[in-house]
Amino acid sequence: MRSIKLQVILGSAAVVAVLGFLLVWAPGANRPSGTGQPLVLYCAAGMNPPVAEIIRDYENQFGVTVAVQYGGSGTLLSNLRVAKTGDLYLAADASFIEIAREQGLIAETIPLATLRPVIAALRGNPRKIQSARDLLREDVRVALGSPDAASIGKQTQTAMTKVGLWENLRQAVQTRGVFKPTVNDIANDIKIGTVDAGVVWDAVARQYPELEIVAPLTDDPDFVMEVMVAVLRSSRQPTEALRFARYLSARDKGLVVFTRHHYTVVEGDVWAREPQILLFSGSVNRPAIESTLNAFEQREGCKLLRVYNGCGILVAQMKAGARPDVYFACDSSFVPPVQDLFLNPMDVSEMEILIAVPKGNPRGIGSLADLAKEGLKLGVANAEQSALGALTERMLEAAGLLRGIMANVRSQTPTGDLLVNQLRAGGLDAVIVYEANLAQVREHLDFVRIDLPGAKAIQPYAIARDSRCRHLAQRLLDAVTSAESQEKYRKAGFRWLYRRDL
């Protein structure tokens, strides 16, 4: 009896041990070849061919292992939400990224390609389908994406509702067609011949040699979907994750492969292991952005070459041929002279210009006009050396006060801080400075607001048209306009202007 018992217990244990050993000793297994943890990428299964190819190149080049979880975009989204691990998420289209963003799962996004809904049929188009209207025909069986599960379905619904065909189409599909959960299911149905036509993304249709795009679903340019890769908040190695995401989205690396797999790609950045951004910034921005820039550099694994200077000087440098990737001006008036170098500038913050006076306002100054009174000792910033000076001069000129006030000016300095110091030392009766110049000394001084439209500087952020790293520069803007950075701006005396949805 002992022998039976031992035989069974030991025998089965030995079987498990041998099988387990065989499992561990897997010669073909994908082992982390690099030093660190593998990167975990959640990838829409339909994107498998180009992504697998790019990963192979990347692993060979950099010795970093990328472990991919393939699945439906929605399934993956649920997965990463529950698992709270992983580094990157590549969804079949941007709608899933949007949901993930709303759920607070996403840190950065980088666009890769664009998708358009098209009507596809078997090659040769046996049913002679010409337009969306033909999908209603009695002799045509149609597969559509389910509007609740697949974003191709949602897009189809919206596009068809817009032209008033949706209700009929829905009924036609309900009676003789089918709603499918993913775009590849639809393409597979057309390929097998279960349906005569279907609405799929153009890139998907082009990947099936058996399929033919017979017509765009709509001519409306609004119906374009982006394919994006996102870096997840759960990533414990965001720099590695971002580096891979940059490789994936580089116009001379990953996007070449996507193009070969029939995707319409975006204009990506040029690949660099450690990219550099040349940043021209007005000195006024420095206290608000410096720590954000440091954090960005560290997270992205990039270099930000910063040039802080008066904006007049920066403009002169650009006129002389300097080509920064990003220009963060002290005031929007310093953009037009170099506008043709840049894409649309985004206004980030604004800074009020006001009159600072000694505590208690002993000279009773109530408005800009009061500064022209005889016998006052004033300080203003130098118009050649600083944006504050140039703005002050322009403002006074517009108010017709330039001559009268300049007569009282006893001190002209390159920065507002120097003026504030002189005021506190007792040498001046009033100075015209930025509100930010008073941030540290509020309790020792009083100020008078200037009720004029010109009494403020607006700081726009502009990305160079032919920068090799426009998307990186865009992420820098995202970092500068994050909630955390807003708080730094507020502390530095700025007012916030940027609206993310604009």
Q: Is 227 helix (H, G, I), strand (E, B) or coil?
A: strand
| CB atoms inside a 10 Å sphere around CB 159 | 21
- Segment near another protein (CB under 8 A), from 63-71, 138-146, 278-286, 334-342? 63-71
Measured from the CB atom, is 146 or 218 closer to another protein? 146
> Tokens 């910034």 — which residue?
281
What are the C-alpha distances in Å from 437 to residues 51, 312, 354, 420, 421?
51, 20, 10, 7, 10
- Residue among 191, 243, 253, 470 that touches another protein (CB under 8 A): 191
Q: Is 60 in the site for another protein (CB under 8 A)?
A: no
**9-17, 217-225, 344-352, 395-403 -> range binding another protein (CB under 8 A):** 9-17
Using the rule CB under 8 A, is 309 a contact of another protein? no
Site for another protein in 79-108 (CB under 8 A): 79, 82-85
Strand partners, 197: 121, 142
With tokens 């400075």, the residue in question is: 433
**Among 66-74, 385-393, 421-429, 444-452, the segment contacting another protein (CB under 8 A):** 66-74
Taking the complex as a whole, the smallest distance from the CB of residue 46 to another protein amounts, in Å, to 5
Quick one: which of 39, 54, 64, 68 contacts another protein (CB under 8 A)?
A: 68
CB of 106 to another protein, least distance (A): 19
Report whether 420 contacts 433 (CB < 8 A).
yes
Residue count of the chain? 502
Counting contacts by CB under 8 A, is residue 52 touching another protein? yes
Q: Which of residues 203 and 469 has its CB atom nearest to another protein in the complex?
A: 203
CA atoms of 469 and 302, how far apart (whole Å): 11
Q: Which of 39, 54, 58, 72 is in the footprint of another protein by CB under 8 A?
A: 72
Distance CA 137, CA 134 (A): 5
User: Alpha-carbon distance 191 to 458, whole Å?
Assistant: 57
Among 208, 258, 447, 494, interactor with another protein by CB under 8 A? 208
β-sheet bridge partners, residue 122: 211
235 binds another protein (CB under 8 A): no
CB of 203 to another protein, least distance (A): 12
Based on the shown chain and the rule CB under 8 A, indicate whether residue 367 belongs to the binding site for another protein: no
Residue 194 Cβ vs another protein, minimum distance, rounded to whole Å: 11
**How many residues at the interface with another protein, by CB under 8 A?**
44
CA 410 to chain centre: 48
Q: Which of 37, 53, 62, 70 binds another protein (CB under 8 A)?
A: 70
Figure out which of the listed residues 114, 157, 182, 408 binds another protein, where binding follows CB under 8 A: 182
User: What phi and psi, each to the nearest 5 degrees, are found at residue 167?
Assistant: -60, -45
Q: For the chain, what is the total number of helices (H) and then of strands (E)? A: 17, 21
| Spatial contact of 145 and 151, defined as CB atoms under 8 Å apart | yes
Nearer to another protein, 196 or 269 (CB): 196
Q: Which among 198, 211, 253 is positioned nearest to 229, based on CA atoms? A: 253
Taking CB under 8 A as the rule, does residue 10 contact another protein?
no
Q: Which stretch binds another protein (CB under 8 A): 40-48, 367-375, 415-423, 492-500?
A: 40-48
145 sits near another protein (criterion: CB under 8 A): no
Instruction: Select the span of 61-69, 237-245, 249-257, 274-282 touching another protein (CB under 8 A).
Output: 61-69
CB of residue 83 vs another protein: minimum separation in angstroms?
Answer: 6
Least Å distance, CB 24 to another protein, is 8
Q: What angle do CA 272, 55, 82 make, to 5 degrees?
A: 105
DSSP character string of 411-453: EEESSHHHHHHHHHHTS-SEEEEEGGGGTTTGGGEEEEE--ST
Distances in whole angstroms, Cα of residue 56 to Cα of each of 32, 92, 203, 216, 253? 13, 20, 22, 34, 12
**Smallest gap, in angstroms, from Cβ of residue 266 to another protein?**
22
Residues at the contact surface with another protein, assessed by CB under 8 A: 1, 4-5, 7-8, 12, 15-16, 19-20, 22-23, 26, 28-30, 40, 45-46, 48-49, 52, 67-72, 75, 78-79, 82-85, 182, 184, 187-188, 191-192, 204, 207-208
